[in-house]
Amino acid sequence: MRNGPENLDEATVRDFGREWARFDQKAICPEELRQIFNSYFAIFPWDRLPIQAVGFDAGCGGGRWAALTAPRVGLLHCIDASAQAVQVAKTHLDGLANVVVHEAPIDAMPLADGTMDFGYCIGVLQCLPDPAAGLAACVRKLKPGAPMLIYTYYAFDNRPRWFRELWRVSDIFRRAISVAPFWLKSVIAEVIAALVYWPVARAAGAFERVGKSVSNWPLSGYRRHSYYVMRNDALDRFGTRLEHRMTRAEIEAMMTNAGLGSVRFSESGPFWCAVGQRP
């Protein structure tokens, strides 16, 4: 297990900084962003947080989730390893007096151990060289009884075999595209969004409207999302150099080994979202 601030991939961090500068979320409908936020945080125990709770957003990116979390808590620390992402977050979160933005890797967050009332890490752990070490670093910051919410890429363990094989084919393309210069993979991602994400997702929506099940339809999760979200996620999916995928059982084991108990998973997408509590 890696420990310390070396648990990051510099090229991946740079690319995410560029991604958040490109997609700063200004063009997304606030209601759509709130719906996506609610899907990630559906199992988060807001009602169990203390009044004026202090917590952290590990890997905050451009601050899109922090903007919706901050009004619910007393103080929110937003941490990201990318200087470019931190600048986007500061701009996005300007005016929120209870937000502090830090430029630091997850393994070197400038927070004292055992002091946080809650924490969350959305879509970040899978891009660390050692996801388990990253989660353990987060858990160390929590007070006893504090909840930790994570979302990390799943291994399609709740999908049929043909679905997993289709993903393996797509992953061959991801590995090739992700190492290209950022400008080039941005162009390729735009093409993928236009020619794959949009038509496949909209077709899923059309089938759903006539009473067909689309639970295993590839990209069906985007059927009600805007083209902006598809463009952003196509770059996120095909532009990321480092990606770990885990089954539900592997995620639960990682959370338990990090020191979280009472682990609970969301039974609806995005998969997998899970929350645990520091005993």
The pLDDT profile of the chain, 279 residues, written as one tens digit per residue, is 444 467 999 999 999 999 999 999 999 999 999 999 999 999 999 999 999 999 999 999 999 999 999 999 999 999 999 999 999 999 999 989 999 999 999 999 999 999 999 999 999 999 999 999 999 999 999 999 999 999 999 999 999 999 999 999 999 999 999 999 999 999 999 999 999 999 999 999 999 999 999 989 999 999 999 999 999 999 999 999 999 999 999 999 999 999 999 999 999 989 999 999 999
Q: Are residues 77 and 177 in the same domain?
A: no
Eight-state DSSP code of residue 142: B
Helix then strand then coil, % of the chain, to nearest 5: 50, 15, 40
Given this model, what pLDDT does residue 5 score? 60
Residue 14: give its domain's CATH number: 3.40.50.150
pLDDT at 2: 47
Helical segments of 41-95, H only: 66-69, 83-92
Residue 49 in domain: yes
Query: Are both 68 and 109 inside the same structural domain?
Result: yes
> Is residue 2, in this structure, part of any structural domain at all?
no
Residue 4 lies in a domain: no
Q: Which domain holds residue 185?
A: 161-239
Query: What is the per-residue pLDDT for 6?
Result: 77
Residues 21, 92 contacting (CB under 8 angstroms): no
> Does 41 reside within a domain?
yes
Q: According to DSSP H, which parts of the chain are helical?
A: 10-22, 30-40, 66-69, 83-92, 131-140, 161-178, 182-192, 198-209, 227-239, 248-258
Verify that 149 and 68 share a domain, yes or no.
yes
User: Is 52 inside a domain boundary?
Assistant: yes
| The predicted structure's pLDDT at residue 195 | 98
Number of domains in the chain: 2
Residues 49 and 23 in one domain: yes
What pLDDT is stored for residue 1 in this prediction? Answer: 45
Across the chain, the runs of DSSP E, i.e. the strands, are 54-58, 75-80, 99-103, 118-122, 147-151, 261-265, 273-277
